[in-house]
């Protein structure tokens, strides 16, 4: 039984790794890295790129470089909810009613929320 599960897992992994959407996504990110000259002075910059294929549109994101020092503070989803920022509440489940996210990631998301929301509406 374990051999069947193991071989099925290998087959699925092979299909995923060779799938066109995965390669298209990887190519879009690499292309964006080459095209976008990251501004070292930009704080919390977000570069968004769309790559259209015959049956898909891949949206890739590139951020300005961030230097992390020591351990970054974490923010609880309960704190975010209390502050009226409950956009990540869908990540909670019965077994995991709360989670924590890097504070810098949350600040970045808040800073770019309008751009991301407009993109989602398109």
Q: What is the pLDDT of residue 15?
A: 73
Closest CA relative to residue 72, chosen from 38, 108, 33, 98: 108
On whether both 79 and 60 belong to a single domain, the answer is no
Structure-block tokens of residue 11: 């087959």
Domain containing residue 55: 1-65
Mean pLDDT, residues 97-114: 83
CA distance 58 to 44: 22
Q: What is the pLDDT of residues 41-69, one digit of tens each?
A: 556 667 777 888 887 787 777 776 666 66
Q: Mark whether 52 and 79 lie in a shared domain.
A: no
Same domain as 45, residue 1: yes
Q: Is the pTM of this model over 0.95?
A: no
What pLDDT was estimated at residue 35? Answer: 64
CA distance 37 to 33: 8
Please give the tally of structural domains in the chain: 2
14-47 core/surface letters (b: 16 or more CB in 10 A; e: else):
eeeeeeeeeeebeebbeebeeeeeeeeeeeebeb
């Amino acid at each position: 039984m374990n051999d069947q599960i193991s071989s099925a897992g290998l087959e699925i992994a092979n299909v995923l790794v060779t799938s066109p959407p995965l390669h298209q996504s990887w190519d879009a990110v690499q292309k964006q890295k080459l095209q976008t000259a990251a501004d070292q002075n930009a704080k919390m910059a977000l570069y968004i790129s769309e790559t259209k294929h015959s049956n898909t549109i891949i949206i890739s994101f590139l951020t300005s470089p961030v230097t992390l020092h020591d351990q970054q503070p974490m923010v609880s989803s309960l704190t975010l909810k209390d502050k009226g920022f409950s956009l990540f509440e869908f990540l909670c489940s019965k077994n995991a009613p709360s989670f924590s996210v890097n504070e810098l990631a949350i600040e970045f998301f808040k800073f770019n929320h309008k751009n991301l929301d407009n993109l989602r509406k398109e």
